Structure 1
């Protein structure tokens, strides 16, 4: 099972969830960490649409901290910019998202040592996925009826599918954190 998560920065906002099992995709929205963890701890691969690490050398994302000299971007953030814009991790709205994502990643990995947790960027992945691949999957609702969060979670889950098939590219430095994108070929 592969789970895609379009994580919200705050639990008062909906996070999109997509569960990919064989060729079936079930999408929904969840709010609370315990709901997300309960789904993700059973997965083989969990794919977050959220940064899962800090820039190398950073202990936090505060501008007035000594660690700010290490910058606002990870190597993966810089590399993905050739495909489009990404927000700096130090951007006010991103800080909560980053720390929530890192916390969830650590909990999920501690609950299931066999779960692989990776990061993607659905807006970029959408540009790389051949639309015809969507026909391979049966969804519980029409794409036109999905929320944007469910749709992005579905794209994240499909990135997990490419990852499982070893048809992906990894941007960045594995010691700092990578962003996984599908290769431009169909799987």
Structure 2
């Protein structure tokens, strides 16, 4: 199943998920699903995805302002800049699929930020992962956890959607989240 979704290295863990000792997505399967009222169109999924990227960008900017350590402050600024690129991808997809003439301002007027990627609020993420925000590796680890939550959320929603165009949009966004995770892994390797 995972190999069919584009994962290059898939490991079969003897003993199943109960034997797994590394990080997993957190929370119940319904976590974040309340962001989707159903049945959304591909257009609506793109607006929701943009709002989640916006929420995460704002979170990183807020954390940069609070950071006492210059290296961590710079890291949060870098993470916020990455989220701007993610938003650009979603906006471009919206223009290509829905309305080539829409302005960024017009698109953003449809966006409501209520949660970060993965469906949790800022406080919930900080409470859940309890990172030491003065340590760069813990900040990147938290960012990776958020992207993993987002990947999981988009895959869960795609599993419930019946509209082929909407399902395709969700699979594309999930694939981008997978790429975001890989980039964060490379960033972690530099620390």
Whether TM exceeds 0.5 here: the answer is no
* The structure with more strand, counted as a fraction of residues: 1
Q: Which structure carries more relative contact order (alpha carbon 8 Å, separation 6+)?
A: 1
Q: Which has the larger radius of gyration?
A: 2
* The structure with more helix, counted as a fraction of residues: 2
TM normalised by structure 2 equals 0.29
TM normalised by structure 1 equals 0.30
